Amino acid sequence: MSAADPKFQTFDLPPEITGPSAWYGPDMIQDQSWCQHFTAADVAEIEAATQAVLTDPGVNLAALTADDFPLPQLAPRLRQVRKEVLDGRGFALLRGLPVERWSRRQAAIAFLGLGSHFGRARPQNARGHVLGHVIDMGLSSDDPNVRIYQTHERQTFHTDSSDIVGLLCLQTAKAGGHSALVSSVTIFNEMRRRRPNLLALLFEPIETDRRGEVPPGEKPYFTIPTYSWHAGLLSAIYQRQYIESARRFSDVPPLTAAQREAYDLFDALANDESLNFQMTLKRGDVQLVHNHTLLHDRTAFEDWREPERRRHLLRLWLAPEDARPLPPAFAQRYGSVTPGGRGGVTVEGMQLTVPYDPV
């Protein structure tokens, strides 16, 4: 099929994108300036702010703000990191929180406090949890109401439903469970060079399964293009398994042969080691990822038998007030496109909560 075929070339594609967001994995392996270490002074400041929140009954943990968690010395560095995540390469790793000496509650508050310097925490499920637990719950993604982070399976490359996703590693797996990143901007560039006819299909709306977490008045799936070009910016939203599982609904048509070819190429590029790279999260690591310009993945893992040693990460979905503009279609999934108040899962009667343990 020719790239000039009018059936596929439905509009003028955006131009090839240059700049720090269009990176290749091997280059990131060589240049690890994205990894920073907390100093002893940083940790002392974080612990002091955590203790202040622990002893203040008036603080609303589910709506914790940077004012509630002052970090006078560290905050300027965090602002630089946030700018790099939102406007630069799209990710960062902050290493060295002493989670081994903290209680679960201390770790949760410290993470919520750090996250408040990047954006407002958004609910991650229908129960209103603004603090998520990424742990194997003994479930399977074969269940259409299970989300893959609740299993030990590979997640495959995808985006989360927020501007920024943050992870804090509490415990590592016995084997596997590595984090992988790839630039959705680079995938766009590569598809534009190789198969622009297929790339054009990814700018058309596609149904994606909500996996049982349906806002009032909405369908059990949302319909947003994988790629959107808005206000001169390229933004992506993607989860292949959920695109496939949305076909279970009677009003959702099967993928066409051309759509399947386009998504297969997209996946092949995401999985290409010349584009992506892996990092291993250690205990006390905080990873921050910009969902609009990156896809992230987690490899399958083997866990420890002892419950206290099981792989366990805390997760935040964050909405910065200085986030990029998003097209109106994103409101289907984000609830709103207003920076600082968008993203997450919202259902009728939800109350925001901070669970310290997986539930």
Q: 347 pLDDT band (50/70/90 cuts)?
A: confident
Residue 314: what pLDDT?
97
Q: Would 117 be classed as within a structural domain?
A: yes
Phi, psi (rounded to 5 degrees) for 39: -85, 170
Q: Indicate if the pLDDT at residue 243 is higher than 60.
A: yes
- With a cut of 70, say whether residue 251 has pLDDT above it: yes
| Percent of the chain residues topping a pLDDT of 90 | 79
Tell me if 249 is assigned to some domain.
yes
Share of the chain above pLDDT 70, in %: 89
3-state secondary structure of 45: helix
Q: What is the pLDDT of residues 49-78, one digit of tens each?
A: 999 999 999 999 999 999 999 999 999 999
Per-residue pLDDT averaged across 155-174, rounded?
91
pLDDT surpassing 90 at residue 354: yes
Tokens 């300027």 identify what position?
A: 76
Distance CA 70, CA 44 (A): 12
Provide the number of structural domains found in the chain. Answer: 1
More confident residue, 349 or 29: 29
**What is the rounded average pLDDT of the residues 157-167?**
97
Q: Domain containing 90: what range?
A: 33-334
Does some domain include residue 97? yes
Q: What is the pLDDT of residue 136?
A: 66
Mutual angle of helices 184-194 and 257-270, in 10-degree steps = 130
Q: Which pLDDT value is given to residue 8? A: 45
pLDDT at 217: 87
Res 225 pLDDT > 70: yes
175 lies in some domain:
yes
Do the domain assignments include residue 4?
no
Task: Identify any residues that bridge with 165 across adjacent strands, giving them in sequence order.
Answer: 289, 317
Is residue 302 one of the residues assigned to a domain? yes
Which residues does 266 contact at the CB level (< 8 Å), separation at least 6? Answer: 187, 191, 202, 226, 238
Tell me the residue ranges of DSSP E strands in the chain.
35-37, 91-95, 120-122, 132-134, 164-171, 175-176, 179-183, 205-209, 221-225, 227-230, 233-236, 277-279, 286-290, 294-298, 301-302, 312-319
Residue 239's Cβ-side half-sphere holds a number of Cα atoms within 13 Å equal to: 24
Q: Find the mean pLDDT for residues 320-331.
A: 98
> Residue 22 above 60 pLDDT?
yes
Q: Please check whether residue 81 is in contact with residue 36, taking contact to mean a CB–CB distance below 8 angstroms.
A: yes
pLDDT for the residue 303: 67
For the chain, the straight-line distance linking the first and the last C-alpha, in angstroms and rounded, comes to: 50
Q: Tell whether the model's pLDDT for residue 102 goes beyond 60.
A: yes
Is 77 a domain residue?
yes
Q: Give 348 or 300, the one with higher predicted confidence.
A: 348
Return the CATH number at 163.
3.60.130.10
> What predicted TM-score, i.e. pTM, was given to this entire model?
0.91
Domain assignment present for 167 = yes
